[in-house]
Structure 1
C-alpha cells in the first residue's frame, strides 16, 4: 500500500458549520516520504481569534489564497487511491468528506489509518496520545504545531515509527491485532496483515523469552518459582535498631557512598530514632515530619532493620498511589543496595487493580462488529500491554487506551475467580503480587486495602506485626468510607443490564444458555431456572430502579444529599420504598438459590473453560444481588451509623445511597491499634498549634496515650520558611462568601489577573467551590490570553493529571484547582511561585456525616467548631500552604483572600500552625508591589 498523510486546519470543530483554512499532505511510498502538498484556503467567513492564536493563521494570510472549490479538487488528485493516514482521522476525514461532497466530489478511500488510534493501541501506558507527545516519545522532533504541512510531516514520521513498532511485536499478537481491527477498519486490518507477513518472514512464530502463550493469549511470563520463595534467613543480626538506622543515615554511612551529594538531615535522623523506638519498645507513634524531611527513608530503614532482626513483616500504608509508586520506584532500589540485596520488598494493591487474563481472553474472543470501536481498540491495547507488563495493574494504563467500562469487564475479582481451575492461575498477575507479598519482609499497600483487610478479618493482606501509616491525616476519612457502604443506581442497573437485556435475548444468562444448549452437561432443572432467572432479573431491576427514584425524589430541590433521620423513616415516600423492597424478597431468594446452583454445576463442568463461564455468571449475579440487598440493609435505622441519599446531575439524575460509621475511633482502636505491637502514623500535617489532640482523639489513640504507649513528635522541615516564603493577606478584599459566584468571579478575575502578570504565570489558585472556580476561569481566560498567559481549570480543561502536566510544561500559565489540588502535587523550583488560597478550607457542615458527628459532639457538651471543624480546616490549610515550598532553593508567595485569618478569634490557629511564617497585611495594591519586589529579588 502507498499512503498519503494529511492534516487540515479549520475554523472550528463542526464539519457542517466550519471551514477548512489550510491543508497539508505527505506521500509515503516504501517507507519513505516522496512528495508533499500544501495550500492555504480562503474561507467565506472571518477566522476566529482563538483559531489565529492556535495556528497563527489570520484573515490577512488567507486573503489571496484560493478557495476550497479550487484547493480540494487538487488535494483529491494528489491523494488518488492511496490510503489516507491522519493523526485523528475521525476529525479530518469527516471534514474532508463534507466539504468535497459540497463540491460534488467523493473521497476514493474514506477508510484509512489513524495514528492517534494506533498509538493508543501500541502505547497503552502513555498518558497522552497527542501528536507532539507521541512524536517526543518516539524520539521525533516535532515540526511547528498546528500548521497543516508541519503536522502532516510529523504524522508521517510517527506513522513510519509505528510501523517499526508493529514489526517488533510477536507474530501471534500482530495477527490478533489485524483480526480485531477488521471489526472497525478494513484498511487498518489490511495494513496489519501485510506487516504480519513481514514479521513471519523475519522471526516466524517465535515467542519472546519473557512471554508465554496459553489458550491463544500472549502475556509476560511469571518469574521462576524460586523468586517467589521466602528470602534467605536474616544476615543482619542487629543489636540496636535505632543506632544501626542512624549509622546508615549518617554522613559517613553507606548512603553517602552511592548517593552523590548525600547530606544527613537532622529531621530525618530524629524521625528514624523515634520510629526505631516505637518498633523496638512496642509502642505506637504519631510523628509529624515537615516537607523535605525525607520521611519515607526515615521509616523504611528502621522498619527494614526491625524486620531483618525479628523476622516479623512490616506493612507500610499510603493514601495515594503516587506515594506508593514513589516508594517502589525510588526508595526500594536504595533499600536493596543498603542491605546488599538481602531484603524482600513487595507492593500489594487492591484486587480490582489487577487484570484477569481469562477475562481478557474471553473479551477478545467474543468481540464482533457490533462492539464499539473504542472497546475493540481497548482490547487491542490490552493485548499489546500484556506482552510488556510485569505487574498487570490498572495504573499503568492510560484511561484513553482502556476505558473504565472495559476495565470493569476484565478486572480481577473475588466473585468471578475460579482459582486453580483457571488456565491462567499460575501466571495470574494478582496471585503473583499476593505471592510476593506473602514472602516479603516489607509490604507497601494503601489505606483502602489496609481498611478492607480490617473489614474482612485480615483476609486481604499477609499477616504483619508492625505498621507504618504515611499520609495519616487521611486515615479517619478513609476509615469512614471503607468501614461504611454505598450502592449506586447506575452500577446496579449496568450490572443487571449485563446479566440480562433486550427482554432476555442478550446478556450473560442468555450467553450461558446458548453456549450450553447442545451440551449434555446442562441439567434440565438448571436450564429452567436460567430461563426463569431472566424474568426475575427484569423484575428486580425494574423495582430497584423505582426504589432508587423514590428515594432520590425525597432529596429537596437545590440540595444533593438527604440524611435519613427518624422523621424521614416515617415519611410516606420512605414507606413506599420499604414496600417496594419487600416485594423483591421472593425473586431475590430465588436468584440466591440460582447462584448456589451455578456454583454446584461448575464443579461438574466438563472443562475448565466451561467452569469459568458458569462461575462468571454466578459471580456477576452474586455481585448484583449484593448491591440490591445492601440497598435494603443500609436503610435500616441505626444509632451507630449515618445513612444518606445522594442525587447528582440534572435531567437524568444519578441516585446513590451511602452509610458510614459516625465514630471510627473505637473501631480503629479495637481492630487496628490494640492488636498490633507497634504502629507509626506520619504526615506533614498532623498537629494543630503544635499539639496532637485532634489526631489522637480522631483515631482512637487517647487510651494509648494515657497508658504511656504513645510516642509523639514534630520533626521540623529543613526549609527556611521565613526567608523562602511570604504570606500576604490583602485587608481590602471583599467578603466573597456574601457575594454570588458571578460577583465573586468578577472580583477574583481582576485580582488574579494582576497577580498572574506580576509573577509571569506560575500561579496556583486553590478554591473550595467548584462553581466559583468555573466562573472565574470563564472570566479570566481572555484577559490573561492577551498577556500570553494560559489558564488551566480543573474539570473544565481536563483531568487533574492533564492539568498538572500542562501547567508544568507551560511556565506562563495559571492553574485553578479545587479539593484534590490542595495536596499531593509537587511543583518544585520555579514551576510555582505564587499560591493563592481563595477561602479557608472549612468543610460544609451540612454533609450528613459531618452533621451527625457535630450532633454527637453537641450532645456530649463539646463545641463542634473548636473540636472538629477548625482542626480539620487547619490541617487542610497547611496541606495547601505546603504546595509552595518543595526544596531548599524554592521561593514564593502565598496570598490568602480570606480576611478571617486575621480578623477572627480562630484565625490565629491557622497562622500559629505554620512554620514560622507570619502574615503581611496591607491593601491589595501594596501587596502587589511587595510581591513584585520579592519575586524579582528571588529570580
Structure 2
C-alpha cells in the first residue's frame, strides 16, 4: 500500500524525512514546518516532539495505530521493537528509520486484510474515532468491513464474576523442611543444576508455614539470599505445598511491579496449564491500578474531549482483550498513556474512592471485583507491600484475611510502612476530600459524584442518613477549594483550612529559606510554632471536627441498615453498603489523624512521631503546602496491624541486612515488636563476583561540577560501548548530564535514554534499555532498586557519588534515634549493595561498577561482595580499565582490593 504521507524521524543523531521519492536529512526548523503543514508518520510523537523542541507535535503516530490493531499486545516502542512485533527487517542505521516508518505504516494498515484475532470491536471503535478526528481514522476505517451482526464489544463482551461460597479457614498442617526440598525438586525438574543454597533456602523458608504456637507471635523467618540463589522457587516450594495441604492462600508481596511480573512467569512451573493457573494464581494491586468501567463509560459518552477522548477509545479496545484490566504494569502497554501526556489516564481509574460498588451498572464485570473474588479462592496471591498494609489497616476482606505471607524485596518494608502509616494535612489532600464529599463544583469536569449522589438512596432509610450527608456537605465547604494555592501565596486565604495553610507557608519560609535556595521543597520542624499558626490551628480543627462527626454518623447509620436488613437489602445492595462503610471509615480515619496532628500545634511533642511543616516545590513552583506526621519507627504499626494477626511471615531479600547485621534486618522489618524472635537464614550468592566484576572509585571528578560529571559519564559510556546504567541522587544533575552528552553519544551510535527527561514511563524505559545492548539509561532511585537486566544490555553501572540520605527533618530524627552516623552508614551500604546488585544478574554476566566520588569512605566498602577488586583511580585510568575489561575476553577481576 502506498500513500502520500511523509515519515519523520528525529533522534540525537539527526532528523530525517522519508517520502516516496526517498529519504533526506532536514533541519529542525524544516522538520517542524513540514509536520505543521501535513500529517507525518511518527513513532512516539511526544518523544519526537521533545527531540525537536516542539511540544505540540502531532501526526500519524504508529504506536497509536499499533494499540488500536493489537490491544493488550506489548511491543518495545522503538524502531527495532516495532519491526520485531510486525515482522519487518530491523533498520540498522538511523538514516534508514524514516523509510522504515513508512513501511511499518503500510504493514499495519494491511492487518485487517488477513487473519486478525482482534477484529471484533474494531469497526465500532473506528466509527467513534472517526468522529473524534483521530488522524489514523481516514486510513484504517475504510479497510474495516462492517460486521454482518452487531458486535459484542466491551461491556457486553466482558465476563461476569460469580459468587462463591465462603472459603473455610486453612487447616492446621505440619511443614517439614525435607518436604519443601522435595517440592522444590519437582518444580526445578529432572536434570536441573544442583543448587545447595536454594535447597537450604527452601528448607529454612518452610518454618514460616509451620503452625503458630503463641497468639500474636507469628513464625517469622528473615532470609537473606544473594542474587542467583533462586529464592523465588525457593519460597514457592513451601508456599505451594502449604496452600495445597491447608487449603488456604499464601500472599506473596513485592515492592516493584517488575518482580510481580517475574513471579507470574515463575508460577508456570506450579501450574503449567494456563486455565488452572488463572484460577490458582492471582495478581492483586490497589484499586487505583485498575480500569474503572464506569469512568470509562463516562469518557466514551462525552466526559472526555480532544486527545483524552481518543485515549478512552483505545483503552476501551484494550479492555475488551485485557486479562485483568490492570492499567499499571499489566497488559496495557506502559507507553500508551504517555502518548497523551496528562490527558485522561488517571481519570480512568478509581483514585478518589468514589466507587459505588453494587450501585454501578458494571459491578458484576468490574476488574477489581474479579481480582478480589479470584484471590479469595486462589492458592497464591501476588500482591504488593502497600496493598497488604492497606487491606490489613482498613479491615477489608476480613473473612479472607491471609495467615501466611512472603515479603520479597523485604528491604523495602520499612519505606512501604513509612508511606502507608503517615499523615499529611495538606492543601492537595483537603481539596481531594472536599471533592469526594461535594462532587462536581462550578467549572469542574468529569464523573465526580459527591456523597449525596452516591449514597442518598441507601441513606434515606431514615432521616438520620440524609441529615448526616447534608451536614457533611456543609462542613466540607470549610476545606481548601479551587485556586487555594494562589490565594494562600497572595495572603488572601478563604476559610479556616486555607488560613492554616497560609500560616504553615509563612513559618516554613521564615525558617527554611536559605540563600541560594535551588527552588525545591522547603521544610521545618513543627516546634515553637508562630502565634499565627497557633491561632489558625483551632478554627481549622473545629472545621475538621464538624466534618468528622457526620461522616462517623453516616457510617453508623449504614451499619444499622445492615443490622436491620430491610427487604430491599439483597446481595448486591449489601455489598454496596459495605463498600460505602469501608470508604467512610477510611475518610473518617484520615480526618481523625489530621485532628491529632493539629493537637500537636502549640502542644507537647509525641516521641513516637516526627512532625514538620513543608512547602512542596518543583523548580520554584509551589504545588502543595501542609503539615506532616510520620512514625519514628513505622514498623511498629506494621507489626501490630499486619504481622501479629498472621501465623507466619517470610521476609526475604538479597540485601536484607543492608551490609550490616541481623539486628539491622530485624529493626527494618518489625521483628522487635513481636513476642517471639525471628529465625535467620543467609546464603551467599553463587556468582563469582571477584572474577566477573570490579569496583572503580574515580577520584578526580569534582563534586558539583556538572560539565566534569557529564564528561565522565560520556567517556565511560563510550568506553563500554553502551550497556550502561547511570544512577543519580538528584534529578537536576541527571538532566544536566543528559543535556550535555546525549548528542555526543548519538554521534558514536550510542542511544541514551533518561528517566525524568524522556516522556516515557520508567517500566518502558527499562524495556527499551534491555532490548538494545548499545543503549544506556540514566535514572534515580527507582532504577537503583527495580531493574533486572541480565546479559550484555547492562555491563557498566556508574553512580554520580556516594548516595548519602537527604538531610530532611524526618531523617534527622531517625538518625538521632538510630545511632548517629552509623545510621547513615547503614543506609549508604544498603543503597550501594542494591546498586551493585544491578550489575551481575546471572552467572555469565560481567561488568564494572564505577563510583564518581573521591570522598567514598573506606569503612563503607564492605557493601560490596567479598573479594571484589576495589581500586581508587583517576578518570583516565577508569576509562582505560573499562575499555580493556569490556572489550576483550579477559576476566573482569584480578585487581587490587582496598581493605574495608
Same fold (TM over 0.5): yes
User: For 1:666-681, what aligned pairs fall within 5 Å after superposition?
Assistant: 666-681=636-651
Task: Pick one of 496, 505, 508 that aligns with 1:552.
Answer: 505
Residue 205, structure 1, aligned to residue 150, structure 2: yes
Deviations 1:281-325 (A, max 9, x none): 753211110001110110110122223334443222111121122
CA distance in 2, matches of 1:299, 1:855: 37
Conserved in 2, the CA contact under 8 Å of 1:113 and 1:188? yes
Task: Pick one of 270, 285, 292 that aligns with 1:356.
Answer: 292
Deviates more, 1:489-498 or 1:467-476: 489-498
Sort the Cα spacing of 1:938 and 1:163 in 2 relative to 1 into closer, same or farther, 3 A.
same
1:6 CA displacement: 0.5
1:733 is matched with which residue?
700
1:510 CA displacement: 9.5
Conserved in 2, the CA contact under 8 Å of 1:466 and 1:679? yes
1:383 is matched with which residue?
316
1:242 is matched with which residue?
177
Task: Pick one of 254, 261, 264 that aligns with 1:325.
Answer: 261
Conserved in 2, the CA contact under 8 Å of 1:174 and 1:192? no
Residue 641, structure 1, aligned to residue 609, structure 2: yes
1:718 is matched with which residue?
686
Conserved in 2, the CA contact under 8 Å of 1:493 and 1:545? no
User: For 1:621-700, what aligned pairs fall within 5 Å after superposition?
Assistant: 631-637=594-600, 639=606, 640-644=608-612, 645-650=614-619, 652-657=621-626, 658-687=628-657, 691-700=661-670
CA distance in 1, matches of 2:558, 2:205: 51
Task: Pick one of 791, 796, 818 that aligns with 1:829.
Answer: 791
Deviates more, 1:472-481 or 1:575-584: 575-584
CA distance in 2, matches of 1:597, 1:232: 31
1:652 CA displacement: 4.3
CA distance in 1, matches of 2:183, 2:579: 51
User: For 1:73-112, what aligned pairs fall within 5 Å after superposition?
Assistant: 86-87=41-42
Residue 882, structure 1, aligned to residue 837, structure 2: yes
Task: Pick one of 194, 199, 204 that aligns with 1:269.
Answer: 199
1:364 CA displacement: 2.2
1:610 CA displacement: 13
Conserved in 2, the CA contact under 8 Å of 1:727 and 1:893? yes
Task: Pick one of 717, 728, 747 that aligns with 1:767.
Answer: 728
Deviations 1:631-683 (A, max 9, x none): 55543325122233241225641114432211134334433444433221110
Sort the Cα spacing of 1:421 and 1:791 in 2 relative to 1 into closer, same or farther, 3 A.
closer
Residue 790, structure 1, aligned to residue 725, structure 2: no
CA distance in 2, matches of 1:166, 1:789: 36
Match of 2:413, SS state, is helix
Q: Which runs of 5+ in 2 are unaligned?
A: 50-57, 213-218, 482-494, 891-900
Deviates more, 1:881-890 or 1:758-767: 758-767
Deviates more, 1:396-405 or 1:277-286: 396-405
Sort the Cα spacing of 1:500 and 1:605 in 2 relative to 1 into closer, same or farther, 3 A.
farther
1:274 CA displacement: 0.7
Match of 1:554, SS state, is helix
2:489 is matched with which residue?
none
CA distance in 1, matches of 2:851, 2:47: 46
Conserved in 2, the CA contact under 8 Å of 1:825 and 1:883? yes
Deviations 1:6-40 (A, max 9, x none): 12559999xxxxx998562xxxxxxxxxxx45586
CA distance in 1, matches of 2:123, 2:109: 16
CA distance in 2, matches of 1:93, 1:790: 14
Match of 1:676, SS state, is coil
CA distance in 2, matches of 1:233, 1:625: 33
Conserved in 2, the CA contact under 8 Å of 1:422 and 1:609? no
Task: Pick one of 424, 430, 433 that aligns with 1:486.
Answer: 424
Task: Pick one of 809, 812, 820 that aligns with 1:864.
Answer: 820
CA distance in 2, matches of 1:340, 1:121: 27
Conserved in 2, the CA contact under 8 Å of 1:669 and 1:700? yes
CA distance in 1, matches of 2:363, 2:147: 30
Residue 540, structure 1, aligned to residue 479, structure 2: yes
Deviates more, 1:556-565 or 1:628-637: 628-637
CA distance in 2, matches of 1:122, 1:552: 51
Match of 2:365, SS state, is coil
Residue 154, structure 1, aligned to residue 104, structure 2: yes
Conserved in 2, the CA contact under 8 Å of 1:116 and 1:131? no
User: For 1:567-646, what aligned pairs fall within 5 Å after superposition?
Assistant: 567-568=528-529, 570-573=530-533, 575-576=535-536, 578-580=538-540, 582=542, 631-637=594-600, 639=606, 640-644=608-612, 645-646=614-615
Sort the Cα spacing of 1:302 and 1:598 in 2 relative to 1 into closer, same or farther, 3 A.
closer
Task: Pick one of 741, 750, 767 that aligns with 1:805.
Answer: 767
CA distance in 2, matches of 1:890, 1:759: 14
Conserved in 2, the CA contact under 8 Å of 1:8 and 1:20? no
TM-score using structure 1 length:
0.75
CA distance in 2, matches of 1:666, 1:606: 39
2:66 is matched with which residue?
119
Conserved in 2, the CA contact under 8 Å of 1:166 and 1:174? no
Sort the Cα spacing of 1:601 and 1:128 in 2 relative to 1 into closer, same or farther, 3 A.
farther
Bigger relative contact order (CA 8 A; separation at least 6): 2
CA distance in 1, matches of 2:873, 2:349: 56
CA distance in 2, matches of 1:599, 1:313: 29
Provide the alpha-carbon RMSD of the alignment. 5.1
Match of 1:655, SS state, is strand
CA distance in 2, matches of 1:281, 1:594: 41
1:511 CA displacement: 10
1:271 CA displacement: 0.4
Aligned residues: 829
1:812 CA displacement: 3.1
Sort the Cα spacing of 1:21 and 1:849 in 2 relative to 1 into closer, same or farther, 3 A.
closer
CA distance in 2, matches of 1:277, 1:622: 36
Deviates more, 1:434-443 or 1:618-627: 618-627
CA distance in 1, matches of 2:130, 2:556: 39
CA distance in 2, matches of 1:232, 1:339: 27
CA distance in 1, matches of 2:571, 2:131: 30
CA distance in 1, matches of 2:4, 2:47: 11
Sort the Cα spacing of 1:831 and 1:114 in 2 relative to 1 into closer, same or farther, 3 A.
closer
1:920 CA displacement: 2.7
Conserved in 2, the CA contact under 8 Å of 1:891 and 1:938? no
1:932 is matched with which residue?
883
1:28 is matched with which residue?
none
Q: Which runs of 5+ in 1 are unaligned?
A: 14-18, 25-35, 58-67, 95-110, 858-862
CA distance in 1, matches of 2:131, 2:561: 37
CA distance in 1, matches of 2:131, 2:611: 50
1:6 is matched with which residue?
5
1:442 CA displacement: 2.6
Sort the Cα spacing of 1:768 and 1:222 in 2 relative to 1 into closer, same or farther, 3 A.
same
